[in-house]
Structure 1
Amino acid sequence: MYLNRFSAPAALALVLGLTAPLQAGPDLPPLALPDPMPAPAQTVLLPVPETRIDAAIATLDDLGADVLARSGIPGLAIAVVHGGQTVYARGFGQRAVDRPDPVDADTVFLLASLSKSVGATVIASQVSAGRVGWTSLVQSYLPEFDLGDPWVSAHVTVGDLYAHRSGLPDHAGDDLEDLGYDRDTVLSRLGMLPQAPFRAHYAYTNFGLTAAALAVATATGTDWASLSERALYAPLGMASTSSRYDDYRARDNRAASHIRNGDSFVVADLRQPDAQSPAGGVSSSVHDMARWMAMVLAGGGDLIDVEALRPALAPQMTDGLPLTIDARAGTYGYGFGVGVRPSGRVTFSHSGAFALGASTTYLMIPDLDLGIVVLTNALPTGAAEAIAASFADRVELGLDSRDWLAGYAALMAPVSAPVGSLVGVPRPTAPAPAQPDSVYVGRYGNGYFGPAIVTARDGGLRLHLGPQDHGQDLAMEHWDGDTFIVHPFTENQPAGSISRIDFLPDGTGALSVLRIEHLDDLNLGLFEREE
């Protein structure tokens, strides 16, 4: 094999993409390869001795403290599992900026989208028990589930929704949740959305995946949170883990969620994710998550048959085109990100983010029987991913290949940045005057979003969206002519967002159409006057 021609440093240089091979002494032996060669999936040309893993773990105290200080976030926790054991678990910083309580390894955080991977193992446990399969049809258990196309609706499987290949658009239904609609309402309206080709298009969805999880829970005769507790949390001893938001709020040792206030952080505690609990509603500690990672790395251990878990850990969809023609494509399994490190080692990973105050990640390297989980209590800053990436570098290379926090900070900044076409735009210096309030007041309808009600009260116009009792109620500010602005503040419209509100004429010239910018991502933001 040609691989025998390279010394270990030269092979490392090729793996890392260096322009010149690393220099070595003349007595360096050739790279030793196993004889016989193992299966291709097990062949990695960058050996990692146990001493390097130990050395990488020994750096975590300093790494955690450094990232905490550089990012400015209030708190974080890290755990590492290796060889089936938790070999590191520690907290850094504060649970909340307004209290001195320190974070420790048992502090409970919101997991955000790490919930998808955790939930996938709940489903794998039911596949293992023979109650459902990854190819089970969702309509077999949720006959009302509708994706807008009768054939697709009848054929979409649990696996399709966990691999984000149902044809639903990106983050389908999240906008309805922002408006205050409950889960049943959100799921009932997914079929109104524009659909991409079934099983030929990847688009990340919280409520599509949630529907699959609910189908499995229904098949087992219980609700999702109870199934998760019975099938996974209790057997693994994850006593601090729950899929109910009320349980998280009731924990004494709980990390509050934080958002920015200028250059500092303030407690938010605004994100209540029960509506999409299977996709984003789990709360846990790093101690508990280490138990979960050990089970996954053991191929399900004594809890889940490996053949039930293996499809979740296998590439099911590419999650987008490579950035360049010589770059690897990212792949997604059933609730797990499946990747390949520069060394050739397979990884399982996922990040989670709430713009309203949480950022989390885990990274597992099954070839090394090694995993790290990082939980933080602030909006995404790249801190969690930077720690995991630095740790993996130190395990394989003995050094950081780059400044990971700087890189991830830039990548994560848009997640919590204000949105809207008028953000940063100066107000018109000589705006055209608005018409009398009575011209705008009325009820406007939209099949997907429901009513938009414009009223005149409190000295100006107000816009109400969503359910009458707990929707969005927004003060309207005049901008120019028949254009106003509002300031929505939700998971998908972070602080500082501006939404443009345009009153548009119909064929007669009457202002009978209302366009709401922050609801118009899919060109669905037009509301027609009803009264």
Structure 2
Amino acid sequence: MSVECLAYNANDGASVFKGYVIVFLFPFFLSAGLFDWADACSPKAQRAKEMLESFDANIERALRDYEVPGLAVGVTVDGHVVYAKGFGYRDLESCMPVTEETLFAIGSCTKAFTTFVMGTLVDEGLLHWDASVIDVLPEFRLWDQYATTNLTIRDLLTHRSGMPRHEFFWYNSKMSKKEMLRRIRYLQPSLEIRERYQYGNLMYFLAGLAMEEASERSWEELVKERIFLPLEMKHTNFSIEETKNQNNYAFPYLEKNDQLKKMPFRNLSLIGPAGAINSNVIDMLSWLQLQLSGGLWRGQLLISPVTLQEIQAPQVIIPGVPETNESLLYAYAMGWGVLSYRGHYFVSHDGVSDGFTSVVGLLPSENIGVVILANKNMTSLPRYLSLEIIDRLLALTTIEWMQGGLENIRKNKESAKECKIQDSLSRKQGTNPSHHLEDYAGVYENQGYGKLAIEVIDDKLQVTYNDLIFILEHWHYDVFRVAKEMQDMIVSFEGAKFTFCNNPLGDIGELRVPFEPCADDIHFVRRPIERLSTVAHLKKFTGIYEVYGYTVEIVVRDNTLMALIPGQPHYELIPSGNNEFTVKSMMGSTVRFVLNKEGQVEEALLIHPYGAFSAFPRNPR
């Protein structure tokens, strides 16, 4: 292979959505399983082995064409491993080669492990596919009460909850699972429950919690005990730390500025049931063989064949996928995508994790499986390579999938460029921010997404959210655009628009961020400056005030300034400036205290949409 052991020019398919670049996620794709190299091959397996012997050159050429550092490929036929090899480099800088035992993150191919273990719990009567989630997790709540009450385990596993991805909600977050469960109720859905298929990871997080609650075991313990140990998947694990404790693992790479560069390993333990497993093709082939054998492994039935069949059966139609003569009838099962591929029933899934792309697939009727693992972020190579392998194994007429994939990449690049041009044309020229940069700095909070901090660094606004850092540049009016990310991520947020909004006093009170393209912008409310919320500061404003013969008592209760008016509810006052407070339950109403030279209150201005009134201390200090 002629690829240099250094970072080199790279480019892959990309499309622009809502002003920032995202890489197209492929529906689901291909893969297979393994038994023992020493087993005598069936005639079909032997033929497959011979057919694939000449395939190495195709893979090496594909690595060059798609500019992928390394790749591992495994194929099983009739319970026999007929192909398991590594290509390219697991570390470009040190020229360390990929082998069949090199560990890669498998991303969303993890989901099938979760549904398999869920199936074993169903077999034992500990869970039921159509049980209500709230009956298993009493603390569970969604935005919508009907969905909260009626969402089932099956809904979680088939992506029909109505919830979009909300990836930035959990991505790189250090919140606990308990906190994540609590916050999910504040995430806006984009569809009604069971309205249609909508892929995401959050519901698999909930599925993992349900499994833990029902079994009194952690998700990791369940998967290890019920899959890894029986199948002797000795190298497969759940964490970066476990991977790095082994000698043979791939480094993650992404394309940036037409160069391949290493990106940091990302800890996905929070969202583990959706995508945290790391494995190699040898271990994965064992896993796929289990799927192809109806749950039987070396004489031991690990899951009921009926349950496994239900896991692999279509549950919900996947809309919007272009059907062709080769692929049609796209549907989602539970942790698997299913379709008719050139007349063959095909069960598959793809996986994307930071710097890694994977594809696994099963042809149950033919007892064939394929697994492909790559260490490049969101590359389409595993998809197209797997299709060529499948065609060869099925002795189908040749389709130039690899060449077609390169053409798709070229078209996507052109489309991305055009979208950027159109985005720039929407910019209003000659505008300025309504405030000085310092006025935009502060801490903003959303009940679901948590806190987001903005500070001024080198005359630029810098955003920190979940330890992710963005640089903002002025776009137009009070809209700023993400100009630069200070770290590498699975999806670029560059170009996203942050919109700042003024409150009735003309101060910046809110920030709107397009973290979820399928829902409304996420609204972050500006938090009071901490020094303005101390009890010592708040006590300066306490006392009894008179306005038109009425009295208003200002007190501090539970570290909060309150306004008590006879015959009315108690009003919470939220600091919005040095001596200004917004009235929490009265939209557009504020209280501004006027201090004398000694720092004592001499007047309180009560400002609301219908006018302003002056209140004076009954006993000035």
Q: Which category of TM-score, normalised to the shorter sequence, fits these structures?
A: 0.7 to 0.9
In the alignment, the residues of structure 2 paired with residue 251 and residue 236 of structure 1 have an alpha-carbon distance, to the nearest angstrom, of 19
Tell me by how many angstroms 1:382 deviates: 1.1
In the alignment, the residues of structure 2 paired with residue 163 and residue 92 of structure 1 have an alpha-carbon distance, to the nearest angstrom, of 34
Tell me by how many angstroms 1:266 deviates: 1.5
Residues 52 and 426 of structure 1: is their aligned pair in 2 closer, same or farther, counting only changes over 3 Å? farther
Matching residue of 2:402: 404
Structure with greater helix percent: 1
196-205 vs 219-228, which moves further: 196-205
Residue in structure 1 matching 2:385, options 377, 384, 387: 387
In the alignment, the residues of structure 2 paired with residue 418 and residue 278 of structure 1 have an alpha-carbon distance, to the nearest angstrom, of 38
In the alignment, the residues of structure 2 paired with residue 474 and residue 394 of structure 1 have an alpha-carbon distance, to the nearest angstrom, of 46
Tell me by how many angstroms 1:173 deviates: 4.7
Tell me by how many angstroms 1:182 deviates: 4.4
In the alignment, the residues of structure 2 paired with residue 357 and residue 419 of structure 1 have an alpha-carbon distance, to the nearest angstrom, of 25
Matching residue of 1:265: 260
Deviation digits for residues 131-160 of structure 1 (CA, Å, limit 9, x no counterpart) = 333233333332211123344323322221
Matching residue of 2:359: 361
Preserved contact between residue 422 and residue 498 of structure 1 (Cα < 8 Å): no
Residues 82 and 417 of structure 1: is their aligned pair in 2 closer, same or farther, counting only changes over 3 Å? farther
Secondary structure at the aligned position of 1:307 is classed as helix
- Partner amino acid, structure 2, of 1:498: G
Matching residue of 1:348: 347
Preserved contact between residue 174 and residue 207 of structure 1 (Cα < 8 Å): no
The reply on whether 1:116 has 2:116 as its aligned counterpart is no
- Partner amino acid, structure 1, of 2:143: G
Residues 256 and 519 of structure 1: is their aligned pair in 2 closer, same or farther, counting only changes over 3 Å? same
Secondary structure at the aligned position of 1:526 is classed as strand
Preserved contact between residue 166 and residue 515 of structure 2 (Cα < 8 Å): no
- Partner amino acid, structure 2, of 1:378: K
Matching residue of 1:33: none
Matching residue of 2:511: 514
Tell me by how many angstroms 1:176 deviates: 3.5
In the alignment, the residues of structure 2 paired with residue 203 and residue 378 of structure 1 have an alpha-carbon distance, to the nearest angstrom, of 25
Tell me by how many angstroms 1:381 deviates: 2.0
Tell me by how many angstroms 1:84 deviates: 1.3
The reply on whether 1:274 has 2:254 as its aligned counterpart is no
Secondary structure at the aligned position of 1:367 is classed as helix
Q: How does 1:78-117 map to 2 (within 5 A)?
A: 78-117=73-112
In the alignment, the residues of structure 2 paired with residue 243 and residue 293 of structure 1 have an alpha-carbon distance, to the nearest angstrom, of 18
Preserved contact between residue 469 and residue 487 of structure 2 (Cα < 8 Å): no
* TM-score (ref. length: structure 1): 0.81
The reply on whether 1:499 has 2:496 as its aligned counterpart is yes
Tell me by how many angstroms 1:284 deviates: 0.4
The reply on whether 1:524 has 2:518 as its aligned counterpart is no
- Partner amino acid, structure 1, of 2:502: P
Matching residue of 1:334: 334
Tell me by how many angstroms 1:114 deviates: 0.6
Preserved contact between residue 469 and residue 486 of structure 2 (Cα < 8 Å): no
Deviation digits for residues 27-81 of structure 1 (CA, Å, limit 9, x no counterpart) = xxxxxxxxxxxxxxxxxxxxx9667634432233223212112111110001111
Q: Where does the alignment leave 5 or more consecutive residues of structure 2 unmatched?
A: 1-42, 529-621
* TM-score (ref. length: structure 2): 0.70
Q: How does 1:35-46 map to 2 (within 5 A)?
A: none
Tell me by how many angstroms 1:388 deviates: 0.8
Matching residue of 1:449: 449
Matching residue of 2:612: none
Matching residue of 1:13: none
132-141 vs 87-96, which moves further: 132-141
Preserved contact between residue 420 and residue 497 of structure 1 (Cα < 8 Å): no
In the alignment, the residues of structure 1 paired with residue 415 and residue 224 of structure 2 have an alpha-carbon distance, to the nearest angstrom, of 31
Preserved contact between residue 111 and residue 375 of structure 1 (Cα < 8 Å): yes
Preserved contact between residue 74 and residue 95 of structure 1 (Cα < 8 Å): yes
Preserved contact between residue 169 and residue 448 of structure 2 (Cα < 8 Å): no
Matching residue of 2:316: 317
Residue in structure 1 matching 2:368, options 367, 370, 374: 370
Deviation digits for residues 250-277 of structure 1 (CA, Å, limit 9, x no counterpart) = 2211011111133331211332211111
- Partner amino acid, structure 1, of 2:441: V
In the alignment, the residues of structure 1 paired with residue 413 and residue 115 of structure 2 have an alpha-carbon distance, to the nearest angstrom, of 28
Q: Where does the alignment leave 5 or more consecutive residues of structure 1 unmatched?
A: 1-47
Residues 489 and 473 of structure 1: is their aligned pair in 2 closer, same or farther, counting only changes over 3 Å? closer
Residues 499 and 240 of structure 1: is their aligned pair in 2 closer, same or farther, counting only changes over 3 Å? same
Residues 167 and 436 of structure 1: is their aligned pair in 2 closer, same or farther, counting only changes over 3 Å? closer
In the alignment, the residues of structure 2 paired with residue 199 and residue 517 of structure 1 have an alpha-carbon distance, to the nearest angstrom, of 25
Residue in structure 1 matching 2:70, options 65, 72, 75: 75
In the alignment, the residues of structure 2 paired with residue 163 and residue 426 of structure 1 have an alpha-carbon distance, to the nearest angstrom, of 38
Matching residue of 2:129: 134
Residues 182 and 68 of structure 1: is their aligned pair in 2 closer, same or farther, counting only changes over 3 Å? farther
Preserved contact between residue 420 and residue 518 of structure 1 (Cα < 8 Å): no
Residues 415 and 248 of structure 1: is their aligned pair in 2 closer, same or farther, counting only changes over 3 Å? farther
In the alignment, the residues of structure 2 paired with residue 231 and residue 389 of structure 1 have an alpha-carbon distance, to the nearest angstrom, of 31
Secondary structure at the aligned position of 2:501 is classed as strand
Matching residue of 1:60: 55
In the alignment, the residues of structure 2 paired with residue 221 and residue 337 of structure 1 have an alpha-carbon distance, to the nearest angstrom, of 30
Preserved contact between residue 67 and residue 405 of structure 1 (Cα < 8 Å): no
In the alignment, the residues of structure 2 paired with residue 418 and residue 248 of structure 1 have an alpha-carbon distance, to the nearest angstrom, of 41
In the alignment, the residues of structure 1 paired with residue 487 and residue 202 of structure 2 have an alpha-carbon distance, to the nearest angstrom, of 17
Residues 422 and 110 of structure 1: is their aligned pair in 2 closer, same or farther, counting only changes over 3 Å? farther
In the alignment, the residues of structure 2 paired with residue 417 and residue 365 of structure 1 have an alpha-carbon distance, to the nearest angstrom, of 38
Q: How does 1:420-435 map to 2 (within 5 A)?
A: 432=432, 435=435
In the alignment, the residues of structure 2 paired with residue 446 and residue 428 of structure 1 have an alpha-carbon distance, to the nearest angstrom, of 29
In the alignment, the residues of structure 1 paired with residue 269 and residue 516 of structure 2 have an alpha-carbon distance, to the nearest angstrom, of 22
In the alignment, the residues of structure 1 paired with residue 211 and residue 333 of structure 2 have an alpha-carbon distance, to the nearest angstrom, of 18
- Partner amino acid, structure 1, of 2:196: H
Matching residue of 2:558: none
- Partner amino acid, structure 2, of 1:251: Q
Residue in structure 1 matching 2:181, options 181, 184, 187: 187
Secondary structure at the aligned position of 1:272 is classed as coil
Matching residue of 2:436: 436
In the alignment, the residues of structure 1 paired with residue 414 and residue 375 of structure 2 have an alpha-carbon distance, to the nearest angstrom, of 18
In the alignment, the residues of structure 2 paired with residue 199 and residue 347 of structure 1 have an alpha-carbon distance, to the nearest angstrom, of 24
In the alignment, the residues of structure 1 paired with residue 285 and residue 45 of structure 2 have an alpha-carbon distance, to the nearest angstrom, of 19
Deviation digits for residues 258-317 of structure 1 (CA, Å, limit 9, x no counterpart) = 111333312113322111111110100100000011110011113222012111100001
Preserved contact between residue 460 and residue 472 of structure 2 (Cα < 8 Å): yes
Residues 133 and 413 of structure 1: is their aligned pair in 2 closer, same or farther, counting only changes over 3 Å? farther
Secondary structure at the aligned position of 1:125 is classed as helix
- Partner amino acid, structure 2, of 1:270: F
Secondary structure at the aligned position of 1:279 is classed as helix
In the alignment, the residues of structure 1 paired with residue 65 and residue 414 of structure 2 have an alpha-carbon distance, to the nearest angstrom, of 19
Matching residue of 1:478: 474
Matching residue of 2:304: 305
In the alignment, the residues of structure 2 paired with residue 183 and residue 232 of structure 1 have an alpha-carbon distance, to the nearest angstrom, of 23
Secondary structure at the aligned position of 2:84 is classed as strand
Preserved contact between residue 463 and residue 474 of structure 1 (Cα < 8 Å): yes
Secondary structure at the aligned position of 1:328 is classed as strand
Preserved contact between residue 245 and residue 281 of structure 1 (Cα < 8 Å): no
- Partner amino acid, structure 1, of 2:340: V
Structure with greater strand percent: 2
Residue in structure 1 matching 2:236, options 220, 241, 245: 241
The reply on whether 1:163 has 2:158 as its aligned counterpart is yes
Q: How does 1:196-215 map to 2 (within 5 A)?
A: 196-215=191-210
- Partner amino acid, structure 2, of 1:141: V
Preserved contact between residue 46 and residue 82 of structure 2 (Cα < 8 Å): no
Deviation digits for residues 196-227 of structure 1 (CA, Å, limit 9, x no counterpart) = 22223211121111211221122111111111
Secondary structure at the aligned position of 2:221 is classed as helix
Preserved contact between residue 56 and residue 398 of structure 1 (Cα < 8 Å): no
**Percent identity (aligned):** 25
Preserved contact between residue 488 and residue 499 of structure 1 (Cα < 8 Å): no
Deviation digits for residues 84-124 of structure 1 (CA, Å, limit 9, x no counterpart) = 12221110011111122211111110001111112222222
Tell me by how many angstroms 1:394 deviates: 1.3
In the alignment, the residues of structure 2 paired with residue 119 and residue 405 of structure 1 have an alpha-carbon distance, to the nearest angstrom, of 35
Matching residue of 1:154: 149
